[in-house]
């Protein structure tokens, strides 16, 4: 899928086997297996930057500078990946969340890190051992599971869960504000305003209705913090980027304005 915005020359090209970077950049990553989730790290303790890719054979670590595979940890149940400063968290379909300490990546350059994947969280701490998606920020980690959503305080080793059907994607802001979505009917986007309040989300957006009446089958979400063009108001200072059937939608929570970027042939 490729898209050119109306006011610029940025190209984003995605396929099932790789990603081509935008604009005049030449970086392109190709994966020998199907990539299901990608998360890029800013430079880590070793000064290098890596791309962590959840694939159908396991976790692949790509060196951004060389654009080559740097290491791998094999596990054919991997679904998603997220990382903080020291640790990579890996969601699986049957074993909850595993972790890999980043120090092993530089210690075993180009090596097989499979033996350094260790169990981290499973049921009953989690609502389910089937992890659909992971996203976090700082000390917070949210897991979308087969049973709902789990919001984890990493340092406190504590969790709050929301048992909800058709759980899908989640996004955690730096202040712990959490957005999470459901698939199916109704297709919802929820917002929990304070850390750990996902069981009682303060805001519900219904795709196909209200502000998001043009959004059909929202399947992913990204949030930029404090980017609303409205005057700063508590809780509504962010902008949502929503991937849905037919294109992408940019929703300013402050002004409630939605900009549509449709794929060719969509209406």
Domain assignment present for residue 93? The answer is no
Domain assignment present for residue 253? The answer is yes
User: How far is it, in rounded angstroms, from Cα 258 to Cα 239?
Assistant: 10
User: How far is it, in rounded angstroms, from Cα 58 to Cα 96?
Assistant: 14
On the question of pLDDT at 18 being above 50, the answer is no
Cα-based angle 78, 142, 59 (whole degrees, multiple of 5)? 20
Mind listing the pLDDT tens digit for each residue in 81-100? Answer: 999 888 999 999 999 999 99
User: How far is it, in rounded angstroms, from Cα 242 to Cα 60?
Assistant: 27
User: How far is it, in rounded angstroms, from Cα 83 to Cα 54?
Assistant: 12
Query: Which of 44-53, 58-67, 206-215 is most confident?
Result: 206-215
Q: What is the mean pLDDT of residues 238-250?
A: 92
Q: What is the mean pLDDT of residues 6-25?
A: 42
Gyration radius of the chain over CA positions = 19
For residue 37, name the pLDDT band (cuts at 50, 70, 90): low
Domain assignment present for residue 13? The answer is no
On the question of pLDDT at 121 being above 90, the answer is yes
- 253: CB partners within 8 A, 6+ apart: 228, 236, 237, 238, 239, 240
On the question of pLDDT at 41 being above 60, the answer is no
On the question of pLDDT at 230 being above 90, the answer is no
Domain assignment present for residue 175? The answer is yes
Domain assignment present for residue 182? The answer is yes
Q: What is the mean pLDDT of residues 12-26?
A: 44
Question: What local confidence, expressed as pLDDT, does residue 62 receive?
Answer: 86
Instruction: Give the chain's domain count.
Output: 1
For residue 12, name the pLDDT band (cuts at 50, 70, 90): very low
Question: What local confidence, expressed as pLDDT, does residue 186 receive?
Answer: 86
On the question of pLDDT at 10 being above 90, the answer is no
User: How far is it, in rounded angstroms, from Cα 248 to Cα 88?
Assistant: 29
Q: What is the mean pLDDT of residues 141-170?
A: 95
On the question of pLDDT at 109 being above 80, the answer is no
Question: What local confidence, expressed as pLDDT, does residue 34 receive?
Answer: 60
Domain assignment present for residue 236? The answer is yes
Report which of residues 159 and 104 the model is more confident about. 159
User: How far is it, in rounded angstroms, from Cα 165 to Cα 151?
Assistant: 16
Per-residue H/E/C for 38-88: EEECCCCCCCCCEEEEEECCEEEEEECCCCEEEEEEECCCEEEEEECCCEE
Handedness of CA 83, 148, 222, 197 (dihedral sign): negative
Q: What is the mean pLDDT of residues 150-158?
A: 96
Contact between 44 and 50 (Cβ < 8 Å): yes
For the chain, the residue count is 267
User: How far is it, in rounded angstroms, from Cα 7 to Cα 24?
Assistant: 16
User: How far is it, in rounded angstroms, from Cα 239 to Cα 209?
Assistant: 18
Report which of residues 127 and 264 the model is more confident about. 127
Question: What local confidence, expressed as pLDDT, does residue 160 receive?
Answer: 96
Question: What local confidence, expressed as pLDDT, does residue 31 receive?
Answer: 56
Domain assignment present for residue 192? The answer is yes
pLDDT averaged over the chain?
Answer: 83
Q: What is the mean pLDDT of residues 32-50?
A: 58
Mind listing the pLDDT tens digit for each residue in 179-215? Answer: 999 988 889 999 999 888 999 899 999 999 999 999 9
Query: Residue 206's domain spans which residues?
Result: 166-267
Domain assignment present for residue 179? The answer is yes
On the question of pLDDT at 172 being above 60, the answer is yes
């Amino acid at each position: 899928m490729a898209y050119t915005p109306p006011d610029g020359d940025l190209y984003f090209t995605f396929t099932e086997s790789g990603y081509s970077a935008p604009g005049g950049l030449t970086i392109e990553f190709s994966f020998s297996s199907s990539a299901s989730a990608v998360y890029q790290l800013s430079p880590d303790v070793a000064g290098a930057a890596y791309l962590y890719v959840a694939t159908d054979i396991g976790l692949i670590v790509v060196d951004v500078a060389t654009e080559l595979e740097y290491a791998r940890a094999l596990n054919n149940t991997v679904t998603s990946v997220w990382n903080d400063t020291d640790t990579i968290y890996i969601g699986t379909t049957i074993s909850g969340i595993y972790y890999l300490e980043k120090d092993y990546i530089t210690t075993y350059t180009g090596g097989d890190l499979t033996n350094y994947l260790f169990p981290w969280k499973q049921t009953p701490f989690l609502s389910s051992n089937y992890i659909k998606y992971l996203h976090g920020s700082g000390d917070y980690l949210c897991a979308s599971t087969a049973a709902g959503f789990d919001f984890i305080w990493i340092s406190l080793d504590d969790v709050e869960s929301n048992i909800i059907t058709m759980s899908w994607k989640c996004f955690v802001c730096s202040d712990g504000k959490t957005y999470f979505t459901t698939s199916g009917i109704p297709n919802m986007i929820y917002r929990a305003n304070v850390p750990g309040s996902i069981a009682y989300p303060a805001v519900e957006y219904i795709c196909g209705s209200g502000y998001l009446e043009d959004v059909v089958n929202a399947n992913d979400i990204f949030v930029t913090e404090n980017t609303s063009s409205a005057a700063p108001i508590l809780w509504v200072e962010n902008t949502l980027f929503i991937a849905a059937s037919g294109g992408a939608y940019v929703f300013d929570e402050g002004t409630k304005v939605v900009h549509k970027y449709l794929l060719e042939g969509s209406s």
